[in-house]
Amino acid sequence: MEMTTRPAVPQTVTLLTSQVAGSRVGGGVSAHVLTMGGLTPEFVPTVVIGRHPGLGVPGGGPTPDAVFAGALDSLGANGNRARAAAILAGYFATPVQVAAAAAFIDAARAENPDVLVVVDPICGDGPADADAAHLYVDPAIAAAIRDALVPRANLITPNLFELSWLSGTPLASSEDAIDAARSLGRPALVTSAPAGEGRIGVLAVTADEAWLAETTRFETVPRGTGDLLAALALFERLGGATLSETAQRAAARSAAVIRRTAELDASDLVLDAGLFALDVDPIAARRPGAKGPAWVIGLDGCPGGWLGVLIDLNGIEPPRARLFPDFASALEAEERPHVVAVDMPIGFEDAPSGSGGRACEREARAILGPRRSSVFASPLRPALEAESYDAALAANRAAGGPGLSRQTWNIMARMREIDRAMTPMREGCVHEVHPEVTFATLAGAPMIHAKKTAEGRAERLAVLIDHGLPRDLLDPHPFKRREAAPDDLLDAAACAVSARRIAEGGALCLPADPPRDARGLRMAIFA
């Protein structure tokens, strides 16, 4: 899994949590993770102690309230509030510190409305029964976090007990946890969530959706895993990941660190310098309570017909790949996909609207830069039904367009296949996409290498895995070359990811207000 693309100048993150010198917990974990992710932490400790209290007398003590507040004031005066990309609030030693943190967040938002605020409401652990006996901070501190910091957060990362206490609700199931998280009114990543036997989950909850990312339950878990997950979640959210993607990636990396720590028989988290270089595949996520699969499909033309990659939006079934002899067969697949994303033009101009094809193709090239040549200009509609290359070439020129390449002519039969199936009523289901635009959108930049090279395959495969597709679906290539080439499968998979983005309402549309052709078909590329 490759690290999300970052700007050249490191973004700063304000950390408001504990400093534990001799144990890999608290702000030391957060700062380490964020630094390895290319961010710059600016750390104001709420407490300075020598070791985790579970190991014996911790030494040190809370940062005095006046010292903590004064440090925040000076940090803000130095420009931090305006430049910080995010604020991570964790452990607090007094209610006055919480109030100072809340004031700092308000001032930061006034100077920088886009600042991301993540609150890890560190206050206790134990059964999810809302019993204050399981708090390990003063109840007044926990109440201050609940009342002053949770409402200011863009994301909260409680464990199951903390969610129970904050919401005042005993939690017996994932459904209870979802309801409790929604009652707090903030997107949440809930750790130690109920999952299957021998499993543990990270529950991602928004007002509209919930996802459970499950991983193996480890017999022993080192301290600091909550701090680790909160920092990883902040990193992913700053990189533009959705909440479900954040849960999958943060849970996968946390599990890899826990496994690595166990292998080395270490008592503290082992955070190698290569944390973000580890070959970690995101774990699968499912929608709790879903009654059955809800499929979308991405389609790419190939020698054997159409290669389809199907994704279950509910996460009940794993993604799958299949060959279809024709477009109609794909539309009627047994999974009954309700969103179809196809790498082929939909909608054709009768006469050119500008140089370089349809508006969507011109905008796609602008995004792709060095990969712009992968977007060809679609033929004009008068050329579409020509029975030979020469006839199509002549018809396109007669309608005011340029010449047509042999490559375009070779796929015009597939264009006709889709055009004959399409109606304006069907466009709620069927969408035009372009794999290279999808890859650029997902990665934050165009691909560096051509897709048919080993390097190009590797970078595209990494993007797809980073966005939740299992490696063994795509590699090694499962189809005979005479049926489908390896790049056909990666293109179909990219189309499937776009189909999922379309279904979830997060897809890019080029242009934003698409024109329609003479048949009323929308001319747009989605990614």
Displacement of CA 349 from its chain's centroid (Å): 35
Q: Residue 516: what pLDDT?
A: 97
Percent with pLDDT over 90 in the chain: 85
pTM, full prediction: 0.85
Average pLDDT over residues 322-327: 97
Among 13, 461, 458, 67, which residue's Cα sits nearest to residue 238? 13
* Cβ–Cβ under 8 Å, residues 211 and 204: yes
pLDDT over 60 at 3, yes or no: no
State the pLDDT at residue 1.
Answer: 34
- The pLDDT assigned to 200 comes to 85
In whole angstroms, give the CA distance from residue 160 to residue 212. 13
Residue 6 binned pLDDT confidence (cut-offs 50, 70, 90): very low
Q: Residue 396: CA atoms inside 13 Å, Cβ hemisphere, count? A: 25
- Judge whether 93 and 47 are in contact, CB under 8 Å: yes
pLDDT (tens digit, 9 = 90+) per residue, 119-163?
999 999 999 998 888 999 999 999 999 999 999 999 999 999 999
pLDDT attached to residue 274: 67
Are residues 352 and 362 in contact, defined by beta-carbon separation less than 8 angstroms? no
Would you state the pLDDT for residue 277? 63
Instruction: State the average pLDDT over residues 338-342.
Output: 97
Residue 492's pLDDT is: 98
Name the nearest CA neighbour of 188 among 150, 224, 231, 221: 150
Separation between Cα atoms, residue 319 and residue 496, nearest integer Å: 10
Q: What is the mean pLDDT of residues 317-332?
A: 96
The boundaries of every CATH 3.40.1190.20 domain in the chain are 12-286
What is the structure's pLDDT at 278? 61
Q: Which residue has the tokens 């090279």?
A: 453
At residue 305, the pLDDT reads: 97
Query: β-pairing, 116-119 with 84-89?
Result: parallel
Left, alpha or beta for 215 (phi > 0: left; psi -120 to 50: alpha)?
A: beta
pLDDT confidence of residue 199: 85
pLDDT score of 279: 64
- Sort 372 into a burial class: Cβ within 10 Å, 0-12 / 13-18 / 19+: middle
pLDDT in tens, 225-243: 999 999 999 999 999 899 9
Q: What's the burial of 526, exposed, middle or buried (CB within 10 Å: 0-12/13-18/19+)? A: buried
Tens of pLDDT, residues 248-289? 999 999 999 998 899 889 989 998 766 776 667 778 899 998
Distance between CA 273 and CA 276 in Å, rounded? 8
Collapse the DSSP code of 10 into the 3-class scheme (helix H, G, I; strand E, B; otherwise coil) and give the result: coil
Average pLDDT over residues 14-37: 94
Whether residue 171 is predicted with pLDDT greater than 90 in this model: the reply is yes
Does residue 337 surpass a pLDDT of 90? yes
Average per-residue pLDDT for the chain = 93
pLDDT value for 149: 98
Residue 267 CA to chain centroid, in angstroms? 31
Q: CA-to-CA distance for 358 and 368, rounded, in angstroms?
A: 16
- The CATH number that domain 12-286 falls under is 3.40.1190.20
Average pLDDT over residues 397-423: 95
Q: What is the pLDDT of residues 445-454, one digit of tens each?
A: 999 999 999 9
Model pLDDT for residues 28-63, shown as the tens digit of each residue: 999 999 999 999 999 999 999 999 888 889 999 999
Q: Over the stretch 473-494, which tens digit does the pLDDT of each residue have?
A: 999 999 999 999 999 999 999 9
108 vs 260: which has the higher pLDDT: 108
